[in-house]
Structures are given as structure tokens and as C-alpha cells.
A and B are shown apart, each in its own frame.
Chain A
Amino acid sequence: MPEAGLKVDDLCVARGGRPVLSGLGFALGPGEALEVRGPNGAGKSSLLMALAGLIAPEKGTIGWSGGGEAGESRALLHYLGHRAAVKPGLTLRENLTFWADALRGARDGVMPALAAAGLAAIADLDAGVLSAGQARRLALARLLAIRRPVWLLDEPTAALDKDGAGWAGTLVAAHLAGGGMAVIATHLDIAYGSGVSPRRLDLEGGA
């Protein structure tokens, strides 16, 4: 897994013409995590979407390093948004295999990732019948199956049960220990286990 760096400078993001973030700056390196906290509407998701390149910032720069040529940053990162990107009509295994192919991961990672997510027993079930928590687990399994150095996680533990939330925490910890990087927006406390202390960014404002 290649290492990556992120440097954000004077970032301003607006949604629907209303500024939600302004003058934001931080830097992250391999093995580091940033936990973004703040009330609803403070701009946590907008920050992640801007980092993921899904919305263009009004002002400021988002600089990735380690991705090779410019524009290759998209091959560095995993974005886990509110919507789990789980396709009904395909089985769990097919869902994950598709992402392994489309994101240029290895297919061997699919079954171990499903097993780690606790979904191995239902690998051949139609993903359309999954509960919200199971869909979330499948989405997290995608991060595990396809190795990428940067994880952008938007409320990764939403809809997860206690075990699932704990698993998500250890997943992030293992990712960081392997030299990965993570930006996590959450309003729930996530237990990463001992020895992991993400930096904290508190966003003000909101609703």
C-alpha cells in the first residue's frame, strides 16, 4: 500500500450558496487520523465530500501527495458516505467483487473481508434484503477488501450495533497501524482501542 499525505489550506466550502466551512487548514500524514466533530449542519459531510473531490471548494487548496501524477488522488482514497453504495439485485459477494474489479483491487480480498464483517454466512444473499446495519458492514468490508491508503468515513458507525461499532473502530486502528490515513466525521464516540488517538477537529456553527 502506497503512503499518502494530505495538506489542506484555507479551505472554504459552500453548500447551496451558503458557506459552511471557511479558512480550514490541517495536514495529515501516514498513520494519522483526524476525527471531525460538530453539531448537525456544521459541515462535517461537506468537508469529506470536498476532500473526496465530489464538490468543488469555493476557495483554498486540497493537496494530496503520494498519488503519483496530479489527479491520481482519486485512486488513493476510499469514500464512505451516508449512502452505502450497496446494489440490490446483486449478492453480497457480487457487490464486493464488482468493487474489487472497478476499483482495481484484488478479488482474493473479497471473502476474507466479508468474513471479517460477519457477513460470510450470507455472502450469496441478495443485498437488497440487508438491514441498514448490514449494508453498513458491507460498505466497511469494501475498505478492507480493496487496500487504499486514505479512508474518508462519514459516520462510519451509524446504524451499526455495538459489536459492529467496535469492529469499525478496530478496522480504523489496524488501517492506521499499517501506515494508512483516515478522516472520520462522526457525532458518536468511536472506540479505536488503546494506542490510537486521532486528532480532533471541532467544527462550529451548524443548525
Chain B
Amino acid sequence: MRAFLAIVARDLRLGLRQGGDILTLVLFFVIVGTVLPFAIGPDRPQLARLAPAIVWVAALLAQLLSNERLFGSDFEDGSLAILRHAPLPLEMVVGAKMLAHWVLTALPIIAATPVLALMLGMEGETLLRAIGSLVLGTPALVAFGTVGAAVTVGLKRGGLVAPVLVLPLSLPVLIFGTGAMAPMVPGASGQALLLLAALGLVSVALVPFAAAMALRFAGE
């Protein structure tokens, strides 16, 4: 447990010291959400209808952008090889890094959602649902991103490979995430949220094993 907490604390400390990264991520999220309305045009009802999709696409893209640094620097500087000699199984190392990554990337995005809501003319209730669906959905996004980052960690130019791997996996999150915000059928929002939560729990539980296996091969 001490080793687990040490990894979480180190990653958080590193992330907060390089605070510029978090700010860039938040700005990226807000800018993507702001650029789309320009393409759509100044039709407020239409914007409000599209808002869930815009929020989720922006969150997905921002998440993709940040995944590379999950294992990249630890692999480059040799820390990952040494972490394999920690008394902690590699699966737990992955879990610790996922947790820190969620705090550093997903939490700022969730916190910035009200800004986006303002730009998109979202109503209060939709904003609450947006935040709820992001809280439940981002763990799954981080989990899938972790698999992508682990699989591509040894590649010299894995920059674009990971997003290509991760995007199809993230589709269910996108579908249920937007579904939870703007249900097609009245009352279906709760079901979408439940499915989103289930998706998050299953992926967070299983991904450490898959990612650890990928990291073991990356050592070669």
C-alpha cells in the first residue's frame, strides 16, 4: 500500500509541478468545444441539441492528447524497469498510475465543463447531467487510454498509433455518455448512466492486467 501511494503521490506531484500541462489540456478542451459552434453556426436551439456530443468529443480528444505521458517518461528514463522490482505487482503500479492520471487529466476537464456549458448555451440541468456523465465516463476513457499507452510505450513514434487503437474502444463511452446527457427516450438517462458506470468499473478492473502484460513485453 505504501508503494502504491508513493507512486500516486509522485505522479501527482510531477503533474502539479508541470502545471502548464494541465492548463494546456483544459484550454484544449474548451477550445475544441468553442470551435465547433463556429462551424455549426449561431443557431442556439441546434447548439443546445448538439451540446452533449460536443462536450463528449472535446473530452475524448483532450483525453487522447494526454495519454502519451502516462508511461512515456517512466519508460524513457528507466523508472519503469525499476518499478518492476518493487514489491508491488506491475498491475498495481498500472493502477496507481491510472488513478493519478485520472486526477490530473479528467478532473480538470470536469471542472472546466461549466465554461463550455456557457459557450454552448447549456441549461443548468443539462450541465449537471454533463458533469455526472463525465464523472462516470472518464474512468473508462482513462482505462482505454492506459491500454493504448502501454501497448505503444516501446514504439519510437507511437504518437498516432495509440489514438487509433483507443478511439474505437472509446465508442461505447461516447454513446452512453451523450445518451446520459440527452436521452432519446425520456427517462433513459438513468439507464445510460448505469451502463456508463458499469463500463467504467469493468474497464478499470480489467485494464491493469492487460496494460501490465503489454508493459512486460515492452521491456524486450
User: Could you tell me which A residues sit within 8 Å of B by CB distance?
Assistant: 15, 49, 52-56, 74-75, 77-79, 81-90, 94, 98-99, 101-104
In the complex, chain A residues whose CB is within 8 Å of the CB of B73: 87
Given A83-B76, A98-B10, A103-B87, decide whether A54 and B2 contact each other with a Cβ distance below 8 A.
Answer: no
B10, B17, B85, B220: the one contacting A79 at CB < 8 Å is B85
In the complex, chain A residues whose CB is within 8 Å of the CB of B17: 89
Which residue of chain B has the shortest Cβ distance to A81 in the bound complex?
A: B78
Given A90-B10, A101-B2, A101-B6, decide whether A79 and B82 contact each other with a Cβ distance below 8 A.
Answer: yes
In the complex, chain B residues whose CB is within 8 Å of the CB of A56: 220
In the complex, the 3 A-B pairs of residues with the closest C-beta atoms, listed nearest first: A83-B78, A101-B6, A85-B78
Q: How many residues of B contact A (CB 8 A)?
A: 25
Does B135 touch A at the CB level, under 8 Å? no
**B85 in contact with A78 (CB, 8 Å):** yes
Given A54-B219, A98-B10, decide whether A85 and B85 contact each other with a Cβ distance below 8 A.
Answer: no
| Separation of A98 and B220 alpha carbons in the complex (Å) | 25
Report the number of A-B residue pairs with Cβ-Cβ less than 8 Å: 77
| Separation of A101 and B2 alpha carbons in the complex (Å) | 6
* Nearest CB on B from A90, distance (A): 7
| Separation of A69 and B7 alpha carbons in the complex (Å) | 25
**A89 in contact with B14 (CB, 8 Å):** yes
| Separation of A46 and B107 alpha carbons in the complex (Å) | 41
* Nearest CB on B from A21, distance (A): 14
In the complex, chain B residues whose CB is within 8 Å of the CB of A78: 85
B14, B18, B88, B220: the one contacting A102 at CB < 8 Å is B88
Does B77 touch A at the CB level, under 8 Å? yes
In the complex, chain B residues whose CB is within 8 Å of the CB of A55: 219-220
**A85 in contact with B220 (CB, 8 Å):** no
**A85 in contact with B77 (CB, 8 Å):** yes
In the complex, chain A residues whose CB is within 8 Å of the CB of B84: 52-54, 74
**A89 in contact with B18 (CB, 8 Å):** yes
In the complex, chain A residues whose CB is within 8 Å of the CB of B18: 89
* Nearest CB on A from B7, distance (A): 6
**B83 in contact with A102 (CB, 8 Å):** yes
In the complex, chain A residues whose CB is within 8 Å of the CB of B6: 98, 101-102
In the complex, chain B residues whose CB is within 8 Å of the CB of A81: 78, 81
Cβ contacts B1-14/A at 8 Å (1 or 0 each) = 01101110010011
**A87 in contact with B77 (CB, 8 Å):** yes
In the complex, chain B residues whose CB is within 8 Å of the CB of A79: 81-82, 85
**B79 in contact with A85 (CB, 8 Å):** yes
| Separation of A81 and B219 alpha carbons in the complex (Å) | 12
Which residue of chain A has the shortest Cβ distance to B85 in the bound complex?
A: A74
**A103 in contact with B78 (CB, 8 Å):** no
Which residue of chain A has the shortest Cβ distance to B4 in the bound complex?
A: A102
| Separation of A82 and B81 alpha carbons in the complex (Å) | 11
**B87 in contact with A94 (CB, 8 Å):** no
**A103 in contact with B81 (CB, 8 Å):** no
Q: Which of B82, B83, B84, B87 has the most CB of A within 10 A?
A: B82
In the complex, chain B residues whose CB is within 8 Å of the CB of A54: 81, 84, 219-220
| Separation of A84 and B18 alpha carbons in the complex (Å) | 21
Q: Which of A49, A85, A86, A102 has the most CB of B within 10 A?
A: A102
In the complex, chain A residues whose CB is within 8 Å of the CB of B13: 90, 94
A52, A90, A103: the one contacting B86 at CB < 8 Å is A103
B3, B82, B83: the one contacting A104 at CB < 8 Å is B3
**B14 in contact with A90 (CB, 8 Å):** yes
In the complex, chain A residues whose CB is within 8 Å of the CB of B7: 102
| Separation of A79 and B6 alpha carbons in the complex (Å) | 20
Which residue of chain A has the shortest Cβ distance to B88 in the bound complex?
A: A102
